[in-house]
């Protein structure tokens, strides 16, 4: 997400200003509705847009905010508005723990279940919500007319500015990693669970505030405000406007509010026109109308930030020794790792070799926490890490690059640079020389030497036995998940067991 430019900022300010000065009460009401749905959409962008998780409870939480204002405004007046944010954020925070551990489609179903429970409570808790009749007569102490318009748009502008500023920097890059490459994010020390919790709760609070303003505008709250139609409006408006553009929620809200009025003569057929417009945007402008307008204006697409190798590598503080003791891992009846034991010291480079399927990548995954070991222990100095989640292991001092690049704009260099940038004491490189030219291999060898000089420990998996022999202090050979040889490169290459297991490489090297 790029910072909000002058063009969009001018639009944000001009819309409410022109509505106040030029439009009749009905036009001002429309402008208020755009601001309200824009607020709900900005909150939805946090989870759906930035993190790529389909949250189907935003509409119901909008309704929670509306009911909170209706119930508390007679006693608390304006304080009921921030209370509505809390009322919507609280159930989100309560259910977030178990829900956010679910995979994407299960998370969507869980949020749909939450929305259904809220709607059922609105219908059947008649003593509190008024049931099907709803609640009325609570707006006497709440802002109305132009004052409400100003309040809604001031909140919307403030939220958009904060979101654009936050996600235009390193936070935006972390969100992109979580969205597009969650394993890379985890091994970079990014706690995806905490991220999703904060985004879900913050987005719910904004939905609650939008619902509170909606109740203030209409003066009536009924179970319809928690219905799925509100969720559909929120989702389609954000998709239309742009899920990851700072102005996407506002443009989408304007379409959702104004299009039915413009197509009112079509009666029920306006829904068909709305669906057709949505389909056209999805096909021709998948990033949303806001990004399309930026392209028409000649604004260049914002390229993701790429990690670069540092010019100078400095020594880092952290653990001195990584030790594996009897580590095993099974996938069903297949033993991927069998009692693997070795130690890696700071300032040491160790190469991990073996035929395809021997367990090399699985071993890196187990060390980094992407797979849980079935037996044995892994320690950094005296601290066990084999029970920790990947982000905690990364923060403890273990960085990782990947065999297959997870991001479309990544290169081997940026993948390695990202791992080095974590400041980890120990680095796990998975086939960094795959597809490399002779020049690339020379640069990689130089980098490994610099990492050794900077007192980093490196465990490197690669099929280039000559590169590993030149750069590594020791080699470890795996065969069917078991260590069959450890020693200096020349010793391991001469080992008859290794030659039998790794014969094709030895012949190529001869």
Q: Output the pTM of the full model.
A: 0.89
pLDDT for 406: 77
User: Helix (H, G, I), strand (E, B), or coil: what is residue 2?
Assistant: coil
Residue 409 phi/psi, 5-degree rounding, is -95, 5
pLDDT in tens, the chain (510 residues): 777 889 999 999 999 999 999 999 999 999 999 999 999 999 999 999 999 989 999 999 999 999 999 999 999 999 999 999 999 999 999 988 777 777 678 888 889 999 999 999 999 999 999 999 999 999 999 999 999 999 999 999 999 999 999 998 889 999 999 999 999 999 999 998 889 899 999 999 999 999 999 999 999 999 999 999 999 899 989 999 999 999 999 999 998 898 877 777 766 666 677 677 777 777 787 889 999 899 898 888 776 766 777 777 887 888 999 999 999 999 988 999 999 999 999 999 999 999 999 999 999 999 999 999 999 999 999 899 999 999 999 999 999 999 888 787 778 888 899 999 899 999 999 999 888 889 989 999 999 999 999 999 999 999 999 999 999 999 999 999 999 999 999 999 999 988 887 755 444 443
List the beta bridge partners of residue 343. 323
List the beta bridge partners of residue 429. 460
- Where would I find the H helices in 263-385? 270-284, 289-296, 360-368
Domains and CATH numbers, the chain: 6-296 (1.10.3470), 321-509 (3.40.50.300)
Smallest CA-to-CA distance from 197 within 92, 120, 44 is with 92
Cα gap 67→82, rounded to integer Å: 13
User: Helix (H, G, I), strand (E, B), or coil: what is residue 184?
Assistant: helix
pLDDT for 506: 45
pLDDT for 363: 97
User: Helix (H, G, I), strand (E, B), or coil: what is residue 288?
Assistant: coil
Sign of CA dihedral 35, 40, 43, 49: negative
pLDDT for 20: 95
Q: How many residues does the chain have?
A: 510
Sign of CA dihedral 271, 277, 279, 281: negative
pLDDT for 96: 83
pLDDT for 435: 82
**Rounded to a whole number, what is the distance in angstroms from the first to the last CA of the chain?**
53
User: Helix (H, G, I), strand (E, B), or coil: what is residue 346?
Assistant: coil
Cα gap 127→115, rounded to integer Å: 20
DSSP string, 382-422: TEE-TTS-HHHHHHHTEEE--SS--STT--HHHHHHHHHHT
pLDDT for 504: 54
3-state DSSP of 369-392: CCCCCCEEEEEECCEECCCCCHHH
């Amino acid at each position: 997400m790029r910072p909000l430019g002058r063009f969009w900022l001018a639009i944000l300010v001009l819309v409410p200003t022109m509505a106040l000065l030029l439009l009749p009460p009905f036009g001002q009401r429309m402008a208020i509705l755009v601001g309200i749905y824009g607020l709900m959409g900005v909150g939805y962008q946090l989870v759906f847009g930035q993190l790529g998780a389909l949250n189907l409870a935003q509409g119901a939480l909008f309704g929670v905010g509306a009911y909170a204002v209706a119930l508390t405004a007679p006693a608390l007046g304006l304080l009921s508005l921030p209370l509505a944010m809390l009322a919507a954020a609280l159930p989100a925070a309560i259910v977030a723990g178990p829900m956010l551990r679910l995979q994407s489609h299960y998370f969507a179903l869980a949020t749909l279940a939450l929305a259904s429970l809220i709607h059922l409570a609105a219908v059947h808790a008649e003593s509190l919500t008024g049931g099907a009749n709803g609640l009325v007569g609570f707006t006497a102490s709440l802002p109305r007319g132009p004052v409400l318009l100003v309040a809604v748009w001031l909140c919307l502008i403030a939220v958009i500015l904060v979101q654009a500023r936050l996600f235009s920097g390193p936070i935006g890059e972390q969100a992109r990693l979580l969205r597009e490459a969650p394993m890379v994010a985890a091994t970079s020390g990014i706690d995806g669970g905490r991220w999703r919790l904060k985004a879900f709760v913050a987005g719910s609070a904004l939905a609650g505030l939008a619902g509170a303003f909606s109740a203030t505008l209409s003066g009536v709250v009924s179970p319809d405000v928690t219905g799925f139609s509100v969720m559909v409006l929120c989702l389609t408006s954000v998709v239309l406007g742009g899920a990851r553009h700072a102005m996407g929620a506002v443009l989408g809200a304007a379409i959702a509010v104004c299009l039915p009025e413009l197509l009112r003569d079509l009666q029920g057929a306006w829904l068909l026109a709305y669906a057709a417009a949505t389909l056209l945007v999805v096909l021709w402008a998948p990033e949303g109308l806001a990004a399309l307008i930026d392209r028409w204006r000649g604004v260049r697409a914002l390229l993701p930030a790429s990690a670069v190798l540092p010019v100078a590598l400095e020594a880092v503080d952290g653990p001195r020794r990584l030790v594996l003791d009897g580590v095993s891992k099974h996938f069903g009846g297949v033993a991927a790792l069998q009692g693997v034991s070795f130690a890696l010291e700071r300032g040491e480079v160790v190469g991990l070799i073996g035929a395809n399927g021997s367990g090399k990548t699985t071993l890196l995954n187990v060390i980094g926490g992407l797979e849980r070991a079935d037996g044995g222990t892994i320690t950094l100095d005296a601290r066990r890490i084999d029970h920790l989640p990947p982000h905690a292991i990364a923060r403890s001092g273990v960085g990782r690059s990947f065999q297959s690049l997870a991001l479309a704009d990544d290169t081997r260099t940026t993948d390695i640079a990202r791992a080095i940038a974590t400041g980890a004491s120990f680095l796990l490189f998975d086939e960094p020389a795959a597809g490399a030219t002779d020049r690339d291999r020379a640069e990689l060898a130089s980098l490994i030497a610099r990492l050794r000089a900077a007192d980093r420990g490196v465990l490197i998996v690669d099929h280039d036995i000559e590169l590993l022999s030149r750069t590594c202090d020791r080699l470890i050979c795996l065969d069917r998940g078991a260590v069959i040889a450890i020693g200096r490169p020349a010793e391991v290459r001469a080992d008859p067991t290794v030659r039998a297991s790794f014969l094709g490489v030895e012949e190529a090297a001869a």
